[in-house]
Amino acid sequence: MEWSIQEIARTAGTTSRTLRHYGELGLLRPSRVAANGYRYYDEHALVRLQRILLLRELGLGLPAIAEVLDGGDGPEDAAAALGTHLELLVRERRRIGRQIASVKTTLRKLREGEPLMAEEVLDGFDHTRYEEEVTRRWGKTAYERGDRWWRSLSEEQRQDFQRRQRDIARDFAAAHAAGEAPDGAAAQGITRRQYEWISAGWQGQGPSAEAFAGLGQMYVDDPRFTANYDAHGEGTAVFVRDAMRVYADRNLG
């Protein structure tokens, strides 16, 4: 069995560009390249991609993933690693199950006029599960500062903050679809809004040129961010990265 790069990308919820990038890094080489240049992946590559995506969801960067895969990529190694991933996924399923039960209980009590219990309403909701990833990338102080800021917001403020990001992502996609250049006035205007949005999340401490450009690169390297931006249009994540790099060089150097 083998699958084309388009089939794999569509099934995995990622992009062909991301898979090619993994190939360039030596993380996921195609099992066959046809005479027309099309890439195909066999079952071994499919399992390897599953491991890559699982490790990405755990917050590992691509260099760290390369080290993990280099430590063993045979059937026994893959089985052992997937066993660990399965345990983590089962835990996550249980947490989501608790969230579903919590929301159902809240809806029932609201409709029937019963008193609410904080333990029931908030069961399964814990944004601190991102603590390890944030601490690894930006330090413990950054996590603690961000945690205090997020907890201080009202629900309306949180929704507004998330809405701003969605609007920015859509505007990036529209500019890319319109053929705007990443270093052009339109794209750089959107990027300025992106910088201001990130600065708000960092409690007014705008990221440095290196950090801002690094975030842009993460949008391409991390499938979660790539999927978020490319959902608005194929190639948007790369467009955002390039625009952020230009903005960093021009305004933050």
Tens-digit pLDDT profile for residues 16-29: 899 999 999 899 99
The number of distinct structural domains making up the chain is 3
Q: Are residues 137 and 92 in the same domain?
A: no
Q: Give the residue, 90 or 121, on which the prediction is more confident.
A: 90
Cα distance between residue 213 and residue 241, in whole Å: 7
Verify that 149 and 203 share a domain, yes or no: yes
Q: Looking at the structure, do residues 88 and 198 belong to the same domain, yes or no?
A: no
Q: What is the pLDDT of residues 72-82, one digit of tens each?
A: 555 566 666 66
User: Mean pLDDT, the chain, as a whole number?
Assistant: 79
Amino acid, single-letter form, for residue 111 = R
**Same domain for 161 and 117:** no
Rounded mean pLDDT, 2-31: 90
147 is a domain residue: yes
Q: Residues 241, 171: one domain?
A: yes
Asked if 176 contacts 208 with a C-beta cutoff of 8 angstroms, the reply is: no
CB atoms inside a 10 Å sphere around CB 127: 10
Does any domain span residue 65? no
CA dist 15 and 230 (Å) reads 8
The answer to whether residue 69 is domain-embedded is: no
Measured distance CA(253)–CA(232) in Å, rounded: 30
Residues 188 and 96 in one domain: no
Structural domain range at position 113: 74-125
State the average pLDDT over residues 98-107: 73
Domain CATH code at residue 229: 1.10.490.50
